[in-house]
Structure 1
């Protein structure tokens, strides 16, 4: 199996398209932080939009795909909205056409035609996406598989037929694979854990840790899985992944811990054992250093945040 296929199997993404938007005139669409494991994306079919994040603003146009690996909050808005204009207080006309929910805002000028969806990662997805930037921009050039797939998604969303809803979700999952292929081809994964999975030797160690993070992993045991020397492994891992092997193992364990605390409701001592820590106290120290709060406080805060986010969807 090739490295990208390994990567997709490990991430285990599923995709959905939530909205097909036709937005004209002045409009603003705020997007709050997404729940853990949810990766929002926007596909611009026609027209232009302005993206506003904590890092500033940028204009994007037809053929651009925007992906938010960490679910970062962001705002999409009309390019005719002035910097000092007040945001309009309306959501437009919405109706479900049998496949997706269509949102229409009428106004002067050319309308923005856009698909909005999300990828939902498997159990280890957030850890593997951790080092990616807040926003990924991929250009879907004509006469490429990515462009062709987007055109089919556009057709099935605008003029649904029997099976369109299921087909759109399957195409959305395939969209993730094509986006990752483009990123790998353009070498945008350097300095991320995804780059490790794209490396034949490093991927063996990464997959072994993901399968059993509670094992007492050392640089030496990970190097054995990669069939390279300890020094070569440590150097190559840091070069590709942007962090040391043991730092990454800790991040994987902490993500597992957060999931067990919040999603499965396990007690801290049970989580400590499942994550490979000899005592609850040792686990608590590492957890607090990683998340800046103890396990109990983290669980309460995340459950509250997830509830608030879902109430806005």
Structure 2
């Protein structure tokens, strides 16, 4: 398993589709700040529109665009003319997916709206390091045939809404998140984080080694060997790309892996501590409290 897949798994990221919007003429839809552990997304199936963000920032929306709001930022989706002379919007809840519609001139903006839901405790492992918006033009990205096929599957499934359609698009939504993350990394606009470490071929090998064997007594030297780099070069590049030292990242990974084990409820706290490289249950408990904000016992009790 590659490192990004494992991070997504630890963060328990899953997609949830909320509604479809088919909006023509003048329209304006406001979206409030999302709740904890939620990152809204919009996928444009057809047409054009504009997203307004705090600070008077705007994003043009075109067919094939995916916008993810990692921190649940409030926003407005409107027509390209400023939302003037708005047409009445109706909502159809007769089918398995609610549809908002407005009538008017011009091609309708056909939009899928949903959320990426993640564990509040593990989500920051991925989402805290992301910018306010991820904006990817999927049809203009590398691998256009694959992306076009995925967007077309979305169109067909939500158009027919045959049995199991929502399960199909929910499963595909996580693939879209990966494409959006890749696009951000390729543009070189991602701030230093675990993701920028993952994107580096050599540093990513060291990160994957930590994920695969958290109980190993990793040192800067042994991690540098995984990356085929000298100790000094590895430490310098790691902190520049990750904004944390190798030891800090190792501790973060160990605590999130421990949280995953505690959720399962199959091992004692002492056994979990040993699995992630702590011979002292007391030292493990103190570190878990510092990183996760709660004790192992309370964490296990709260997720039951």
Shift of 1:109: 8.3
Q: Name the counterpart of 2:272.
A: 271
For the residue of structure 2 that corresponds to 1:114, the secondary structure is: strand
Using a 3 Å threshold, how does the CA distance of structure 1 residues 284 and 159 change in structure 2: closer, same or farther?
A: same
Q: Distance in 2 between matches of 1:264 and 1:18?
A: 32
The partner residue of 1:132 within 130, 133, 140 is 130
Q: Name the counterpart of 2:61.
A: 62
Q: Distance in 2 between matches of 1:104 and 1:265?
A: 45
Q: Name the counterpart of 2:219.
A: 218
Q: Name the counterpart of 2:247.
A: 246
Using a 3 Å threshold, how does the CA distance of structure 1 residues 296 and 246 change in structure 2: closer, same or farther?
A: same
Shift of 1:209: 0.6
Q: Distance in 1 between matches of 2:3 and 2:152?
A: 25
Using a 3 Å threshold, how does the CA distance of structure 1 residues 260 and 188 change in structure 2: closer, same or farther?
A: same
How many residues were matched structurally?
280
The answer to whether the 8 Å contact 1:40/1:116 transfers is: yes
Using a 3 Å threshold, how does the CA distance of structure 1 residues 293 and 56 change in structure 2: closer, same or farther?
A: farther
Are 2:42 and 1:42 aligned? yes
- 1:239-294 Cα shifts (integer Å, max 9, x gaps): 22221111101111121233333453755434322322222221222122223443
Q: Distance in 2 between matches of 1:91 and 1:126?
A: 37
Length-normalised TM-score, structure 2: 0.71
- 1:204-263 Cα shifts (integer Å, max 9, x gaps): 211111012122221112112222211111111112222111110111112123333345
Are 2:115 and 1:113 aligned? no
Q: Name the counterpart of 1:307.
A: none
Q: Name the counterpart of 2:262.
A: 261
Using a 3 Å threshold, how does the CA distance of structure 1 residues 78 and 203 change in structure 2: closer, same or farther?
A: closer
The answer to whether the 8 Å contact 1:129/1:193 transfers is: no
Describe how 1:175-186 pairs up with structure 2 within 5 A: 175-186=176-187
- 1:121-143 Cα shifts (integer Å, max 9, x gaps): 89x98635552234322234658
Query: What CA RMSD, in Å, does the superposition of the two structures yield over aligned residues?
Result: 4.0
The answer to whether the 8 Å contact 2:31/2:76 transfers is: yes
Q: Name the counterpart of 2:238.
A: 237
Q: Name the counterpart of 1:33.
A: 35
Q: Distance in 2 between matches of 1:177 and 1:170?
A: 12
Q: Distance in 1 between matches of 2:166 and 2:30?
A: 27
Q: Distance in 2 between matches of 1:23 and 1:252?
A: 44
Q: Name the counterpart of 1:197.
A: 198
